[in-house]
Structure 1
Amino acid sequence: MEAIGNYRFEVKLSADKLEAVIILRAEEEDLDNILIRESDVYEELRKHRVTFGILDNVVQDLCTLPRKFVHAQVTVARGLPPVPGTDGSVEYPYLDSVREESGPKELEDGRVDFYNLTTIPNVVKGQLLARKIPAGQGQPGKSVTGEPIIPKAGRDVIIKPGKNVVQNQERTMIYAAIDGQVSFTDQDKLNVFPVFEVNGDVDFGVGNIDFVGTVVIRGNVLNGFRVKASGDIRVLGSVEGAELIAGGSIEIKSGIVAQDKGSIVAGHDVRTSFIQNANVTAGNQVIVSQSIMFSTVRAGKQILCKGAKGIIIGGVLQAGEKIAARVFGNTSATPTVLEVGVKPELRQELVQIQKELQQVYENLRKTDQGLSVMNQILQTSGELPPDKKMLQIKLTNTRLVLEKECKTLEARKKDVETELKGEGPAAIEAYHVMYPGIKMTFGKLVHFIKHEYARTRFVVLDGEISTATLI
């Protein structure tokens, strides 16, 4: 701070150096005699290393109307903020219609075309399935002192090949290795599976099915039967109290009436028209066009029941990100439990991976110690006895196995941490009405609905469950 004539300047920089302010200090009796030259202002700025983004009009005003600026904090320079990089992404040239589905499509006559919603495209060997779009690096900024500001790079995306697909050398594209149908399995791995079709019901004439691929059933799945597929399961009829297990998605055109028997488990999505007295689990989303009644439904990300009749009554529903429906509950206040915002299976897996990694690290340390002893013997005597030689070979092979195991665990740990970091704010959305009788849980926060809410979104804000009106 230096005095210049009968006034002085103060120059302050913001913490990020993207803004500089100037304050004119002068006594009241000196205001009429103040004469400020622009060169004096620029010189004062230079003393504070402010050389970029200077607002010339502010400098001119300061010199013309100094009384206006006395003891006032005025922005005199603005830097250029950095532009953060865009996050990486994956394009699916032939799968966009599958990946971008958010609900059933409505036909011109008002009916819901649920069958076409769940179509899985056939692909041929060599067909491009996925293309990685790299993360952007952003554009650097510049501080008022002229220094470059490094932008935050976009978050990279991991492209995940599964079964019967190949990648290019750069690992930026995935191609089909066989003819078949595309299936996304756990952790969004992309696969191509062959197809097994049943032209009627799964009954005593067909028996249980266990197929390494995608299963298409053109009838119903009856009580007590089991269908297992490493890819997707598509049922054009209904499912009763049966057991369906798919590594990919499960799509049931006519709905599920389980009578509290059997279970539906999908690594990716479950799509159907209604769920009644059933146990349904999906790694990603559960998408229902009509109703979920008195069922236990779990989804890693979202449970959506947003059709024209979309209603959820009774049961327990758990989702990592969101539960949304047109109507929750009924006028009889039927008990219904909604839980969002928790991914316990992922957190448990992360703890287990960390334990396994610690054990692998310890085994690697012991193996390296043994190899170090062998090397010391070799350097001292010039050769190893036969028994020591065999031990060296065994330790070397053990280390190769441990290194491979370590890389696998570290890669999975990174995937799990990325998924947990990607958790957005959890929400419960009622697009028409939510009736009393609902118990909602956001992590450790619990709230009981005691009166009706119309078009309401429930979220956690500042540690409390709050509401907002849906437009």
Structure 2
Amino acid sequence: MKNGFFILENKDDGLFMTIRPAVEGGKQVKVEDVYKYLDNGNVTKYSHANVKKAVEELSVTDTAVTFQLTPKPLDIDIDEQAYVSIATDRMSATVVFYPPTPNGKKMTTQGLIKDILNYKIKFGIDEEFLAGLCIEHEYFTDYVFARGIPLVEGKPAKITYHFNTKPTKKPTINPDGTVDYRKLDNISRVNKGQLIAELQPEVQGSNGKDILGNILKCTVEKHLVLKGDKNCEMTEDGLKMYSKVDGHAKLVSGVVNLSNVYEVKNNVDNSTGDIEYSGNVYIKGNVNSGFSIKAKGDVIVDGVVEGADITCGGQIVLKRGIQGMGSGVIRARGNVVAKFIENARVISGGFIETESIIQSNVSATGDINVGGKKGFITGGTVAAGKGVRAKMIGSPMGVHTNIEVGVSPLKRERYKEIKNDILIKTKDIDKLYPILASFWKKIGNGDLISPQQHDYIKKISATVKQLEKIIKQEKEEAEEIEAEITSGQSATVEVSGTVYPDVDINISGAFFKTKAERSYCKFKITDGVVKVENL
């Protein structure tokens, strides 16, 4: 590979230039290269058109082209020239040497370095290489004389968990509309000795530097560590985590929690007494009236729950439902899934999934879905933050039924109180800031401050900090309520079958009472009024 080049020659009838083509993939001569060479040699009165024509002809013929630059010979001496170019990424620089005329001067190392410094190249210059080039080099050839240090990006740390960190917790709906409460993706079970998690540590990169001296900063990768509770066993290098128990795994705020499950093979009755457990509880029989279960994890009951009290920090699954007898209470921070709910109080921090609700007081932060073959709500009060869906609401006998969705009026009132309190406290702070500013100005001026003034300013500072803390907390609470209000406006009541008369529907404070049967309809709020539309 050899680049194209050109030479000058004086003849009797003028100054001539010969341009030779590149070979084997080298760079062709450009018109700009010729112009620059002649201008630097103080050759100004020449035919630009002839230069352009020759270069264009060269690209077609691929053979040397000789043409007249000036009609008369020129008594000139052009010194050897070196042209510097910087790569677009500023990570390298090249120099190309152009030949002198027979009496022209050779390029010196000092002259070359001076030219290079004009390009503000400060880093990565190989001065020894440049000195050698000035002694020996080929013309019209690119020589890389400066290189930067490339930026090396690192690799972020990665944790791989070998259990389901986001279980769906919803039952399987069969093709015939029935709900299979046995197939629940709700517990990530683990075995003793099982690999739970693996850590791939971060690899930090290294900064680079371009030839202009600019630092190229790499991203600082975040350091991660495996975190687990007492039931987790870590390898010495901290890269792998194993289970020390047979049980289940949960990921809570980046910490792996492993817990074995408390299992009752028969009923919860006099033989077991009340149950209180820090993990999950699995009851294979019934839960009799008068007994209670308290669990920090999930509660699963294969049988029927009677007038019992069940409270848990996870979800509750009642495969055969609850016949509360007016005294049964279910409280779950998570979801509640039950075959049926009758004469009971059910409170869910998530959604509720069941096939029927009869004369019960039921509430959920999320949705309440009453489906399956039956899918009816009759009597009592059913309240959901997001929406209620059922096949039938009320009864042909006109049993009074309450349905509430969206944000409650009490929550809206609380929101107004918070916003007003934030406004009052902000005004109080605005009154105190000038006092603090005046004090610090006096300190800056060197004025004497009495002990009483010091104490007074301390009290004001403490008051401001306390007010700011309260305002921050109230703003966070207000944001949460705002989110609930926004979602509450879109809450709906959907009936895929029939809604009967004497059903009260409350959507975020707007009321509607059914006076006639309606089928396949949806209740929603529009401009503050509950409207009904067909599904």
Match of 2:182 in 1: 115
Query: In structure 1, how many angstroms separate the alpha carbons of the residues matched to 2:414 and 2:520?
Result: 37
- How far is 1:426 from its partner? 3.2
Query: In structure 1, how many angstroms separate the alpha carbons of the residues matched to 2:336 and 2:225?
Result: 25
Q: Which amino acid aligns with 1:113?
A: D
Please, which runs of 5 or more residues in structure 1 have no aligned partner?
Answer: 1-91, 129-167
- How far is 1:261 from its partner? 1.1
Aligned runs of 1:314-393 on 2, under 5 Å?
A: 314-344=379-409, 346-354=411-419, 357-358=422-423, 361=426, 364-365=429-430, 368=433, 371-372=436-437, 374-376=439-441, 378-379=443-444, 384=449, 389=454
Q: Does 1:199 pair with 2:263?
A: yes
Could you list the per-position Cα deviations for residues 164-183 of structure 1 after superposition, in whole angstroms to 9, with x for gaps in the alignment?
xxxx969xx99874465448
Answer yes or no: is the 8 Å Cα contact 2:250–2:258 preserved in 1: no
Answer yes or no: is the 8 Å Cα contact 2:394–2:502 preserved in 1: yes
Could you list the per-position Cα deviations for residues 333-374 of structure 1 after superposition, in whole angstroms to 9, with x for gaps in the alignment?
322222334434543443454355456546655764664465
Query: In structure 2, how many angstroms separate the alpha carbons of the residues matched to 1:438 and 1:386?
Result: 70
SS at 1:199's partner residue?
strand
Between structure 1 and structure 2, the one with the greater Rg is 2
TM-score (norm 1): 0.57
Query: In structure 1, how many angstroms separate the alpha carbons of the residues matched to 2:189 and 2:225?
Result: 15
Answer yes or no: is the 8 Å Cα contact 2:378–2:394 preserved in 1: yes
Choose 210-219 or 407-416, whichever is displaced more.
210-219
Match of 1:410 in 2: 475
- How far is 1:262 from its partner? 4.2
Q: Relative to structure 1, is the Cα distance of residues 465 and 418 closer, same or farther in structure 2, using a 3 angstrom cutoff? A: closer
Query: In structure 2, how many angstroms separate the alpha carbons of the residues matched to 1:358 and 1:461?
Result: 30
Query: In structure 2, how many angstroms separate the alpha carbons of the residues matched to 1:457 and 1:348?
Result: 27
Q: What's the % identity of the aligned pairs?
A: 28
- How far is 1:271 from its partner? 1.5
Q: Does 1:98 pair with 2:168?
A: yes
Aligned runs of 1:192-271 on 2, under 5 Å?
A: 193-195=257-259, 197-200=261-264, 201-204=267-270, 206-209=272-275, 214-271=280-337
SS at 2:472's partner residue?
helix
Could you list the per-position Cα deviations for residues 227-274 of structure 1 after superposition, in whole angstroms to 9, with x for gaps in the alignment?
344544333433322333334433222211111114223333222111
Q: Does 1:286 pair with 2:356?
A: no
Q: Which amino acid aligns with 1:422?
A: S
Q: Relative to structure 1, is the Cα distance of residues 374 and 212 closer, same or farther in structure 2, using a 3 angstrom cutoff? A: farther
Q: Relative to structure 1, is the Cα distance of residues 203 and 401 closer, same or farther in structure 2, using a 3 angstrom cutoff? A: farther
SS at 2:339's partner residue?
strand
Query: In structure 2, how many angstroms separate the alpha carbons of the residues matched to 1:239 and 1:190?
Result: 35
Match of 1:81 in 2: none
Answer yes or no: is the 8 Å Cα contact 1:301–1:319 preserved in 2: yes
Q: Relative to structure 1, is the Cα distance of residues 305 and 193 closer, same or farther in structure 2, using a 3 angstrom cutoff? A: farther
Query: In structure 1, how many angstroms separate the alpha carbons of the residues matched to 2:402 and 2:342?
Result: 15
Q: Relative to structure 1, is the Cα distance of residues 248 and 371 closer, same or farther in structure 2, using a 3 angstrom cutoff? A: farther
Answer yes or no: is the 8 Å Cα contact 1:125–1:177 preserved in 2: no
Answer yes or no: is the 8 Å Cα contact 1:115–1:253 preserved in 2: yes
SS at 2:475's partner residue?
helix
Could you list the per-position Cα deviations for residues 426-451 of structure 1 after superposition, in whole angstroms to 9, with x for gaps in the alignment?
32222233334433333323222423
Answer yes or no: is the 8 Å Cα contact 1:125–1:175 preserved in 2: no
Q: Relative to structure 1, is the Cα distance of residues 322 and 416 closer, same or farther in structure 2, using a 3 angstrom cutoff? A: same
SS at 1:422's partner residue?
helix
Q: Which amino acid aligns with 1:199?
A: E
Q: Relative to structure 1, is the Cα distance of residues 434 and 207 closer, same or farther in structure 2, using a 3 angstrom cutoff? A: same
Aligned runs of 1:34-49 on 2, under 5 Å?
A: none
Answer yes or no: is the 8 Å Cα contact 1:104–1:117 preserved in 2: yes
Query: In structure 2, how many angstroms separate the alpha carbons of the residues matched to 1:401 and 1:228?
Result: 37
Query: In structure 1, how many angstroms separate the alpha carbons of the residues matched to 2:405 and 2:177?
Result: 32
Q: Relative to structure 1, is the Cα distance of residues 277 and 398 closer, same or farther in structure 2, using a 3 angstrom cutoff? A: same
Match of 2:374 in 1: 309
SS at 1:314's partner residue?
strand
Query: In structure 1, how many angstroms separate the alpha carbons of the residues matched to 2:409 and 2:257?
Result: 30
Answer yes or no: is the 8 Å Cα contact 2:341–2:358 preserved in 1: yes
Could you list the per-position Cα deviations for residues 115-143 of structure 1 after superposition, in whole angstroms to 9, with x for gaps in the alignment?
32252224886579xxxxxxxxxxxxxxx
SS at 1:350's partner residue?
helix
SS at 1:278's partner residue?
strand
Aligned runs of 1:25-104 on 2, under 5 Å?
A: 94-95=164-165, 97-98=167-168, 101=170, 104=172
Query: In structure 2, how many angstroms separate the alpha carbons of the residues matched to 1:457 and 1:445?
Result: 14
Q: Which amino acid aligns with 2:262?
A: V
Answer yes or no: is the 8 Å Cα contact 2:510–2:529 preserved in 1: no
Query: In structure 2, how many angstroms separate the alpha carbons of the residues matched to 1:193 and 1:271?
Result: 23
What is the RMSD of the two structures over their aligned residues, measured on CA atoms? 4.2
Answer yes or no: is the 8 Å Cα contact 1:211–1:230 preserved in 2: yes
Query: In structure 1, how many angstroms separate the alpha carbons of the residues matched to 2:187 and 2:360?
Result: 27
Answer yes or no: is the 8 Å Cα contact 2:282–2:299 preserved in 1: yes
- How far is 1:305 from its partner? 0.6
Choose 220-229 or 253-262, whichever is displaced more.
220-229
Which structure exhibits the higher relative contact order, with contacts defined as CA atoms closer than 8 Å and separated by 6 or more residues? 1
